[in-house]
Chains A and B, each alone.
Chain A
Amino acid sequence: MQRRTILKLAALGGIGAGALRHADPAFAQGAEQPRRGGTLTMTLTPEPTTLFPATGASFPIMIAGAKMFDPLIRLDFDFSMKPMLAESWDISADRLTWTFRLRRGVKWHDGRDFTSADVAFTMMEVWKKLHVRGRNALRAVEAAETPDPHTVVFKLSAPVPYFASVLSSHEGVIVPRHIYEGTNILSNPANQRPVGTGPFRFREWVRGSHIIMERNPDYWDAGKPYLDRIIARIIPDAASRAAALESGEILLAGPNHVPLNDTARLGRLPHLEVHKRGNEYSAAVIYLQFNVEHPVLGKPAVRRALAHAVDQNFIVQNIMFGLGTPATGVISPYQRHAYTDQVARYPLDPARAERLLDEAGHPRGAGGVRFAMTLDAYTLGEHYVRIAEYLREALGRIGVRVTLRTEEAATFVRRVYTQNDYEALVFAAVLLADPTVGLQRLLYSGAIQRGMAFTNASNYRNPRVDALFEACQTEGDPEKRRGYWHELQRIVQDELPLLALANWDYTNISNRRVRNFVISPHAMFENFADMWLAS
């Protein structure tokens, strides 16, 4: 019975194996014997601010942290739960009590024993209070009980359908209570020299240059890790990172570490390999976001007209170099348990776009211009700016005069999310394993919060959409939940506060010497215990 519950949850969590479109050569070479030793050099960008990974604050921290800290469980490609620090688990029938039995004999890097007290501390004092997504996602967790040093029981006030995904892998790493209890966690000096239970131990961090992590000989998974050492190099310039991959100085680069045009070029080199697989968990979508309080862009009819002027294929082929697919709606097809393509479509049809704008009361005026708008682009990625430039041309053809504005990241965030002083913008959101965790903040009316980055800056309010989000937070039946998500996609695709432009395939690039890189949907965020280097 328990087993079935787990399988059901797994199905709820996500992505079936059928989503894996690209065969991974590492698997075909499965007959090879792993080789011990060697140093993996990888890129890490931008430089982390701290090495405390349990707040989920940014990609580089989580990528580095995942090698030094373990979670309770990890997720497989089918999003089923696999043991890590927890060896087994029971989930009560009402899914309000989750009991995890912990692995024995696990030691922190400083030699102290790992116990259930560490898990309870991490849940109650770290994730619930400091984790950027956990604060909301784990609201229903009322207690973490520790009946003995090797058992931890989470008591929930309501079911959390995506609980497993919040606990798993880099999102849910466990930190040592004996170091953090009673201190200011975020400014604890240990954040510069972390102590975890993971397969690699911290050795040094030379700011602006590199972080070195060394093999943990006492790791609980005997014989692993295979690598002696991981060197994470901080190379600030994207073109230089590409050159270092090409010359073989760097063996591995994570998502967005190399610009899209270089990714396509490097993929053609014999010694390098571009992986789309292993980023399913990240599910990124690029959006054109509208401020619905704008007098013209506030009309759904106008937004639908603009959608007919945009050629998604052009964006995918020429700006993203094929590293994506045209989007059908706000939810990524990687989120198979929620996605549907049965929604309104807006095929490229400039004539129809012009007719719709005429009908909406915006005929061409002086100089053929219907109205003018300002378009912002998030500048932490060159392709956002390229897409905005394309949109300026495409919308110009139907008589909408677009002025581009590209400001550096801090100014952008202040303008959009604090001052809400924008009309439309191009950006991407990472939707993670479930829309409740990744998408709700962009469309829920309760997420219209000034001063809070990457929230509902559209000012979109729809009571039905709000109700659907609320229902999905606690609905336990996967089929009912799927129905809610489908309805939500249809409504949003009719009203278009967010016009999804493209599903963006995150990619990692590895040297062919690197084996066992993509072994889960977390790829770069894995702990690398299984990774080895061919000679």
Chain B
Amino acid sequence: MWQGAITIVAIAIFNFCLIHMAPGSPVDVLAGESGTADPAMMEELTRRFNLDQPFHVQLFSYLWNMAQLNLGQSYRDNQPVVTLILARLPATLLLMASAIGAAFLFGLLLGVVSARFVGRAADEGISFFALVSYATPTFWSGLMLITLFSVKLGWLPSSGMMTIGSDKTGLAFMLDVGRHLILPTLSLSLFYMAIYTRLMRASMLEVYGLDYVRSARARGLSEARVAFRHVLRNALLPMVTMVGVQVGSILGGSVVVETVYGWPGLGRLAFESVGRRDYNLLLAILLFSSVMVIVTNLVVDIIYTLLDPRIEHGKK
């Protein structure tokens, strides 16, 4: 617990310093976008944002506010940053969950199939597909999917999270969101699916070579039972580790996907707040993300024990 808290404070200080090292301030950006600005207005904004204070004063007042769980106001939107973040959080969680879920599920399936038929046509095909998916930049695959499924075929919407203004409820609403979710999920999960496929294949093959698998076969168990009951379960451990590590990076990857698909999520908010130098908002998002990563790591540890009861926690 303490370790987690100290990590978060260290991350907060580091983020604060890093952001304030970037040239330009939120006032510069607002002036740049308006095309005109006058000194009196820029001074007024600087004062309102507390940017006229010395650096260490700003840092301490930030930490002090954070300790009281007050993350401050967005300079740009004049709203508490927590409100802005909570408004975006569900969209991001939904996209992340569906992308990780899809990547994990299909990666697992393809990996298992690949390992079962190693060296045969199915394995070759899957490996090729995984390689292409791994090498394709996310923004490009995103735009190509839009061109194909939205512009040419007209099957799926090109952007957004729901049909705006349709006032759907219940099942109709869920189906609507689902339709909007397909393309972003596909774009975001392709890369991770490729990694999981390769990882799963390698991991399965490794376990296949172990003594207990040979003895299971010697006991006359069917090939399917060996694969799923004995090999898969043990081969899953590295996969779970990998997913845990990548939850943080998938948040980074979602910046691109959220931008291409106009998905109103947290990744885009973070990216935009960098360009706008919206310090408070950006710091709060980074803080949220670090908390999210720490929580995920905890969850991964729990899953370990479920998969392999020999792993225990809290004992040395």
Contact A209 B264 (CB under 8 A): yes
B27 CB to closest chain A CB (Å) equals: 9
B303 on the A face (CB < 8 A) = no
CA–CA, A46 and B24, complex, Å: 19
A415 on the B face (CB < 8 A) = yes
B277 on the A face (CB < 8 A) = yes
CB-CB < 8 A to A124: which residues of B? Answer: none
CB-CB < 8 A to A461: which residues of B? Answer: none
A75 on the B face (CB < 8 A) = no
A454 on the B face (CB < 8 A) = yes
Interface residues on B, range: 35 or more
CA–CA, A411 and B28, complex, Å: 8
Binds B, one of A238-246, A481-489, A505-513: A238-246
Contact B261 A240 (CB under 8 A): yes
A406 on the B face (CB < 8 A) = no
Map CB proximity to B onto A151-190 as digits: 1 under 8 Å, 0 otherwise.
Answer: 0000000000000000000000000000000000001000
Given known pairs A207-B264, A453-B28, the reply for A244 and B34 (CB within 8 Å) is no
B230 on the A face (CB < 8 A) = no
B154 on the A face (CB < 8 A) = yes
Given known pairs A207-B264, A236-B262, the reply for A231 and B25 (CB within 8 Å) is no
CA–CA, A48 and B77, complex, Å: 9
CA–CA, A269 and B39, complex, Å: 46
Binds A, one of B52-60, B116-124, B156-164: B156-164
Using a Cβ cutoff of 8 Å, how many contacts connect chains A and B?
158
B38 on the A face (CB < 8 A) = yes
Contact A233 B262 (CB under 8 A): yes
CB-CB < 8 A to B125: which residues of A? Answer: none
A residues 221-258 near B (Cβ < 8 Å) are: 229, 231, 233-237, 239-240, 243-244, 246-247, 249
Closest partner residue, chain B, to A430 (CB atom): B35
A92 on the B face (CB < 8 A) = no
Contact A453 B150 (CB under 8 A): no
CA–CA, A234 and B265, complex, Å: 12
CA–CA, A147 and B165, complex, Å: 44
Closest partner residue, chain A, to B162 (CB atom): A209
CB-CB < 8 A to A192: which residues of B? Answer: 78-79
Contact B154 A451 (CB under 8 A): no
A193 on the B face (CB < 8 A) = no
B250 on the A face (CB < 8 A) = no
CB-CB < 8 A to B164: which residues of A? Answer: 41, 209-210, 212, 231, 233
CA–CA, A244 and B276, complex, Å: 26
Closest partner residue, chain A, to B37 (CB atom): A453
CA–CA, A210 and B157, complex, Å: 15
A127 CB to closest chain B CB (Å) equals: 13
Contact B25 A414 (CB under 8 A): yes
CB-CB < 8 A to B88: which residues of A? Answer: 207-208
B residues 247-287 near A (Cβ < 8 Å) are: 259-262, 264-265, 268-269, 272, 275-277
CA–CA, A40 and B48, complex, Å: 37
CB-CB < 8 A to B25: which residues of A? Answer: 410, 414
Contact B151 A58 (CB under 8 A): no
Map CB proximity to A onto B122-160 as digits: 1 under 8 Å, 0 otherwise.
Answer: 000000000000000000000100110011001001111
B245 on the A face (CB < 8 A) = no
A104 CB to closest chain B CB (Å) equals: 34
B84 on the A face (CB < 8 A) = yes
Closest partner residue, chain B, to A187 (CB atom): B78
CB-CB < 8 A to B146: which residues of A? Answer: 240, 243
Contact B36 A451 (CB under 8 A): no
CB-CB < 8 A to A236: which residues of B? Answer: 259, 262, 268, 272
CB-CB < 8 A to B33: which residues of A? Answer: 46, 57-58, 380, 409
Contact B160 A233 (CB under 8 A): yes
A534 CB to closest chain B CB (Å) equals: 20
A313 on the B face (CB < 8 A) = no
Contact A441 B76 (CB under 8 A): no
A376 CB to closest chain B CB (Å) equals: 13
Contact B275 A418 (CB under 8 A): no
B184 CB to closest chain A CB (Å) equals: 11
Closest 9 CB pairs of A and B: A410-B24, A208-B264, A453-B31, A413-B32, A235-B262, A209-B264, A414-B24, A410-B29, A57-B34
List 7 extra interface pairs beyond A233-B262, A235-B262, A453-B37, CB under 8 A.
A135-B38, A187-B48, A207-B77, A231-B165, A240-B146, A418-B28, A453-B36
Chain A residues with CB under 8 Å of chain B are: 39, 41, 46-47, 49-50, 56-58, 130, 132-133, 135-136, 187, 191-192, 206-210, 212, 229, 231, 233-237, 239-240, 243-244, 246-247, 249, 380, 408-415, 417-418, 429-430, 441, 449, 451-454
A-B contact pairs, 23 of them (CB 8 A): A56-B34, A58-B34, A133-B36, A136-B38, A212-B164, A233-B159, A234-B262, A236-B262, A243-B143, A247-B151, A249-B159, A380-B32, A410-B277, A413-B29, A413-B31, A413-B32, A414-B23, A414-B25, A415-B23, A452-B38, A452-B42, A454-B35, A454-B37
Chain B residues with CB under 8 Å of chain A are: 22-25, 28-39, 41-42, 48, 76-79, 84, 87-88, 143, 146-147, 150-151, 154, 157-161, 164-165, 259-262, 264-265, 268-269, 272, 275-277
